[in-house]
Structure formats: structure tokens, C-alpha cells
Structure 1
């Protein structure tokens, strides 16, 4: 067995660095993944079930407004979109088609694409501006959209489902066109909203 020369070691290290950088660049962007890792993209329409293994995922609809009221809070806690912005709620349902109780599949990296091709990340109510209690008129309370966060850490019985919302804040002059998210870190689902 011979000794590996300095040049052979340097070339090997260079190849390893190139492979590492290539891997990091590939997996740092949503929706991209080489076939040998099982990465794929599924196109769907709003209202249709996307089946992945024993699971079903449906984007049931969108709700748009200026005010948001978390369902878990009393009606005195209301948030508002920033000036020139609107709140968009995507309602999702996750269904367990398996014959046994299963932990919910991992859904993450939610993005909302608009007609202008802009992308907006998922946000949470605490990232919006709270409306002071003294400013809560009947109109604000009535106009507030009820928000139920999509559960991500529970088990679902066979044949059962859970529903919840994913929240976005986008400029008022934008039009939501597509919801994109990852399932179990490898599959990208792209849902047409129009």
C-alpha cells in the first residue's frame, strides 16, 4: 500500500468541499432536491386532496381581511395587519388514511406566492400589531377573522383529520396565487389558489 501524495489529498478535500457546498445550496431552497434523495414536487388545486403515503392534505380555502382574532383567546385580543397590508389565512386539513393512530406528518416552510411573483413567509399572530382594547369597536370585532393555528405536534386517529390555518401578511394590492410547503422535509406541495 502506497502513501497518498499531497496532491491526491488536496484534490480529495477539494472534491469534498464542492460536494458539501452543492448539497447545501440544493437543500437551502424550497422545492429543490435531487431524485436520489426522493425529493419531488406535487402540483395540486385548492379543494383537492393531495395523498402522500397514508396521509391526505387539503387546502380548503383562503380568507382575507384586516383583523385577526385567535380562537384560543377571548374576543378582546385582536391583531391587525400593518398599514397597506392584509391578512391571508390558508385553511388546511390533514387526514389520516392509515388504519392506526399516527403522529401528524411534518408540514413546514410555508410560502405564499402572489400574482406578481413575490413570495411571503408564514407568520404568527404575535408578529402582527395588537389592537388596543379601547379601540375595539363593534365593527372591528365583527370584521376580525377567526384564526386556529394548524396543529403540528399531535397524533391523529385512523380516518380522522385536523384543520387549522397558516397565516400570512401581504401588501393589500397583491393577489395570492399559490401556497407552497414541504411535507416531511422531502416533498414539496404547490397548490394553485386561483
Structure 2
């Protein structure tokens, strides 16, 4: 129910003779102005919650960009609704503080980096180059850990004897195409960041890799 529906319901209730003499409490248009403006303010975080809760795929990557969007929309409302400025500022102070702390939570940063449609877009939009470097270093560290674990697992498995290289293969082995395991972790990450591929969802993108 939106605020206009509430107005009609309240007016009907207060003017109903069956409810007694309550007509004196009917609000005029000017008195309804504050609730209507407050409704516009609260509509922004409400829509944020609705958007993320309806998604069927992981939405952790959307939190920081969405918080930044809330801040931007509320700051615009402060200019549009001067009488709500103080109320909005109270919300802005809290959400900016929360946003600042969230920006350095590894889970949020990594969730954005592994999303092929986002990567470091958020950090560029926020002009947060320190945050970008921090997130990239953390991603490299996680990839190194994963690669080391995978290498240990492979080493423990029985492997077939390596075929001996021919003279030609040995001579030109340095020219052979390198696979992902031959790349450094940073090279592998940079290749991913340069990949222009977009995906319907993060899960679909990585399932196809």
C-alpha cells in the first residue's frame, strides 16, 4: 500500500459516522506533506531490500554498489526535499559508516572481482584505487593458495610416465603455447580481467570455464 492509498483509507475511516466524531482529525493536504515526503525517503532502502531478496543467484557482489546507489539517491533527495534534509542526513551518516566498513570486507570485494560483469568496476566508480589494489592483492593470494592446494593434490596422485620429447619438440619447447598452469597467478588474473565476456550469471560464467 502506497502513501496515497493510506491517505484515502485514513480519510474514509475518520469520516465514517460509525467511528464516532473523528472527522476533526482528518489531515489536510499540507499535513499529509511530511508523511508523503518521508515515504519517498524510505522507498529507497525498501526497494534495495526488495531487489536483493528476490534474486535467485548470489547477490553478495551487489551490496556495495547498491549501498553507493542509496547514498547517491538520498543525497539527491536532500536537494529535492529541504524539509527532510535532517532526517535523511541521519540515515546517510549511518549508511556511509556502514558502507566504509563493508568496503574492506574480503567477502564483498572478492564477490565483485569474480563476477565477470563487475570485476573492479565498483572501485573505479568510487575512485578507490587503494581498494582496487587491496582487492587485487587479496585475489592473487587466494588464487595462489588454490593453485598450491591443487598442485599438492595432483602430486599425491599416481601420474603416467612423461613421454620423451622428440629432438624437434625439445628444441622449440619454449615456443609452445602455455596453458593456465604455466601462467603466473597474476598473469592468469590479468587475462581474466581483460576478458570482455559477459555472462547471464556468475555461476554460469564459471561453470563454462
TM-score, scaled relative to structure 2: 0.22
Between the two structures, name the one with larger relative contact order (CA 8 Å, sep ≥ 6): 1
Higher helix proportion (structure 1 or 2): 2
Rg larger for: 2
TM-score, scaled relative to structure 1: 0.23
